[in-house]
Structure 1
């Protein structure tokens, strides 16, 4: 793991030995996000067995025949739930599609919820035992961890610790198991994931199976960031960048194609995109507006409106 992008022990925030320890964690996390928009989180409390069981289920799904997987593709849905085939998603402003296929698991909500029209029910592949149990179990664990990271960031922004709680409790968050198939041709223009920023508040990336993630520093250098087995990578998304008036940058990152024989191996990763509730109004926090950082976004936008705008840009809608 790069020495320059910090990895922090979140247990210092959840079970601190002193109030000073908790305050120091908040300060260090905020500083990491101000500089990098990325940090590693260890001692996160998600059992490795739960992560491994979910990965096994996801690998089993992607190993199914193409016609079986396509049964779970919903054309026109923007990939909101179920399967998105290889060669669809394209990074904003990129000429070439990403070399990946993926699945989306969303929040389970009552069908009479006020958000039911924009948060459809999940699809579950009958062919893969344990997919629903392990997939949604990981969803819930990452949702809880993300809430703790947001609580620490709220304190760093001098907001109440529970500021984000009622703004994300019905968030349109997504767990995205991704399969990057083996690359069988040399000198192709496509990459596994083109340079991009995430749409949401924060992203939690658990246990990528191989190297490849790179983060662009403020100086424009691409910095590899492969997490240790017990570390979850958490980065800032565009919605939080906008809410904080760019105090926390949504940093450009990519997944590169590995060299030589490594390219002939598949790669799997599972990001969790934590979103606000669909009707949350993203408006710049007054405390982040200063003479040196004037308000960058005069008009607010709902989380759902922003999401739809961005999905069109990456060719999912």
Structure 2
């Protein structure tokens, strides 16, 4: 049955603040199936993938109406009473590395009177391995949610993986695609993410950050356009630059698993969420994201048959240097467990978050990082 009618979703106006915007390349995916289109796109992508880890996509095959529907569903979920949302939260599961479902704000103490302001709702991909109850407001639209999830994979992720294969000179353009199959057990998920506005005083206490600098743990993250300026990236010069919302685009960042598979050739991008500028400071920020990850059985060792990587001597990564040969399932488990581990409040100094070493240990010899 079709879901109940949703009221239209309207984004807030963009900021008028004069911010130091990052200069990012925009890939036009309408070129993908044209003669030499993939080679042109791969050439455009090469610098961004190796030096920034962030870029924009346009003409990606998902309509604005479909995107707006997902924002409307996120809005409807977060408008539910907290008691209703908490039915889809299990703290013990979260601490064991199970990240699907609801994570309420306030689980992390940042300062004596300030806790985190981030709510998350994750919907696993529809691969048949992650059945779980959904709140009625989402279940009523579950076919549209699945359609959107599959389009993220088939229309966007698959094409990016083929472009990566071209950059790596792999003998089979489908090699990475085969490691990221939608209907094979994996940890891809769609996310509705909500940041509640804070007072100026609260923001100052926590370094004006909603989320400190970090990398994502999978292959590719898709961030659908929303106009509340907050996302920042760390460039090679150690400078934080704001990511500007561009009409009808997806902002894409690369993450840890694809970096591990490519021996660091593809850069896992460092990014953070800053408090918005003054003219948006009292606006809650709603995001719709899609996280793509290798299938659970993929071993995160550097690819052995890439001529590009062989020429550059990229034969190891952080895992193999420790004698570890983690599958994606193992990596998700240990990284998510570390991320959700109860911690003491960090030391916050000039936007730098410092946690106790034991709170940052992922596996022996490997520490998670936060970035100033």
Normalized against structure 2, the TM-score is what? Answer: 0.75
Matched residue count: 302
TM-fit CA distance, 1:262 = 2.0
Question: Any idea what SS the aligned residue of 1:223 has?
Answer: strand
Q: Work out the CA distance in 2 between the residues paired with 1:255 and 1:306.
A: 24
Question: Any idea what SS the aligned residue of 1:219 has?
Answer: coil
Question: Any idea what SS the aligned residue of 2:44 has?
Answer: helix
Alignment of 1:54-73 (within 5 A): 54-73=70-89
- Tell whether the 8 Å contact from 1:81 to 1:121 is kept in structure 2 after alignment: no
Q: Work out the CA distance in 1 between the residues paired with 2:48 and 2:109.
A: 29
Q: Work out the CA distance in 1 between the residues paired with 2:285 and 2:313.
A: 43
1:171-194 superposed Cα distances (whole Å, 9 cap, x missing partner)? 320111101112135223163222
TM-fit CA distance, 1:7 = 1.0
Determine which of 87, 101, 104 is the counterpart of 1:85: 104
- Tell whether the 8 Å contact from 2:262 to 2:314 is kept in structure 1 after alignment: no
Q: 2:266 — aligned with what?
A: 248
Alignment of 1:1-317 (within 5 A): 2=21, 4-13=23-32, 15-16=33-34, 18-19=35-36, 21-78=37-94, 79-88=98-107, 98-110=116-128, 116=129, 120-127=130-137, 130-144=140-154, 145-159=156-170, 160-169=172-181, 170=184, 171-184=186-199, 186=201, 187-189=204-206, 191-260=209-278, 262-286=280-304, 287=306, 288-290=309-311, 293=314, 295-296=316-317, 297-298=320-321, 299-315=324-340
Q: 2:369 — aligned with what?
A: none
Can you give the 5+ residue segments of structure 2 that lack an aligned partner in the other structure? 1-19, 343-372
- Tell whether the 8 Å contact from 2:299 to 2:325 is kept in structure 1 after alignment: yes
- Tell whether the 8 Å contact from 2:117 to 2:196 is kept in structure 1 after alignment: yes
- Tell whether the 8 Å contact from 1:36 to 1:218 is kept in structure 2 after alignment: yes
Question: Any idea what SS the aligned residue of 2:340 has?
Answer: coil
- Pick the structure with greater CA Rg: 2
- Tell whether the 8 Å contact from 2:301 to 2:316 is kept in structure 1 after alignment: no
Judged with a 3 Å threshold, the aligned counterparts in structure 2 of structure 1 residues 131 and 195 are, in CA distance, closer, same or farther, namely farther
Q: Work out the CA distance in 2 between the residues paired with 1:229 and 1:128.
A: 26
Q: Work out the CA distance in 2 between the residues paired with 1:220 and 1:285.
A: 29
TM-fit CA distance, 1:313 = 2.1
Can you give the 5+ residue segments of structure 1 that lack an aligned partner in the other structure? 111-115
Normalized against structure 1, the TM-score is what? Answer: 0.87
- Tell whether the 8 Å contact from 1:193 to 1:254 is kept in structure 2 after alignment: yes
1:11-58 superposed Cα distances (whole Å, 9 cap, x missing partner)? 111x31x22x33121111122111111110111010000010111111
Q: CA RMSD in A?
A: 2.3
Question: Any idea what SS the aligned residue of 1:218 has?
Answer: coil
Judged with a 3 Å threshold, the aligned counterparts in structure 2 of structure 1 residues 289 and 251 are, in CA distance, closer, same or farther, namely same
1:36-95 superposed Cα distances (whole Å, 9 cap, x missing partner)? 11110111010000010111111011011111110111232235321111123799xxxx
Q: Work out the CA distance in 1 between the residues paired with 2:136 and 2:224.
A: 25
